[in-house]
Structures are given as structure tokens and as C-alpha cells.
């Protein structure tokens, strides 16, 4: 999870990314109810908005694409949708990608 968040952090400078080791903050771990690692807790204005536990929602393995995590965090409202993201494609309002995966019925190719 660290490597993916390290890739996303420079691209989303309006979001603060914090990493804490469970050994260093037992109070926080207990207060947030962390039982499975990795655990990403998403806060907006001091209120917990979302939680990613393990790799279940990202393909159940740690070799998932960083773009999957970026999209997940954008959907949760933690990351702002930008014109250019790690996805490598321009994005429209609401996070939908433009021109990616769309069926093109144009026979002029």
C-alpha cells in the first residue's frame, strides 16, 4: 500500500497523506479499531469518511494498479478529481475518463 500512496501523494497535493506504524500508536489503532493491515482510513474535515481494509477492494493482492487506488479514493471524496491523474487520461467532472474503453463505431479506421 505504501508504494501506491507514495505515487499518489505528489499528484494530489491538496490532500494530506499520513503513515503511522501500529507499534508507534497503539491508542490510535485501538481508537480506530484497526485489526487488519494494511488499513487506510480516509478523513475529510476531521470526520472518517471511508476505510480500506486489506486488499479486498483492490483485487485481493498487493500487486494492484495504483490507478485502482486513486479511483477508489476519488470515489470516496478524499482525492479531488484532477485534469491529469495517475490514470494518464484527462478526466471529466465526477471522475469519468474521457475516451477510454468507449466503443467507437467509427468504421473509418
Domain coordinates in residue numbering, the chain: 1-109
- Please give the pLDDT value at position 83: 55
Does residue 92 have a pLDDT over 50?
no
Does residue 84 have a pLDDT over 70?
no
What is the pLDDT of the chain when averaged over all its residues?
76
Phi and psi for 97 in degrees, rounded to 5?
-85, 145
Largest interatomic CA distance in the chain:
63
More confident residue, 32 or 92: 32
Q: Grade residue 87 by pLDDT with cuts at 50, 70 and 90.
A: low
Question: What percent of the chain has a predicted confidence (pLDDT) above 70?
Answer: 74
Amino acid at each position: 500500500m505504501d508504494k501506491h500512496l507514495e505515487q499518489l501523494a505528489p499528484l494530489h497535493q491538496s490532500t494530506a497523506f499520513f503513515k503511522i506504524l501500529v507499534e508507534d500508536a497503539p491508542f490510535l489503532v485501538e481508537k480506530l479499531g484497526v485489526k487488519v493491515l494494511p488499513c487506510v482510513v480516509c478523513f475529510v474535515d476531521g470526520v472518517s469518511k471511508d476505510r480500506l481494509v486489506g486488499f479486498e477492494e483492490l483485487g485481493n493482492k498487493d500487486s494492484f494498479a495504483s490507478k485502482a487506488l486513486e479511483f477508489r479514493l476519488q470515489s470516496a471524496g478524499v482525492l479531488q478529481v484532477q485534469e491529469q491523474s495517475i490514470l494518464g487520461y484527462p478526466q471529466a467532472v465526477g471522475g469519468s475518463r474521457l475516451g477510454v474503453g468507449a466503443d467507437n463505431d467509427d468504421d473509418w479506421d
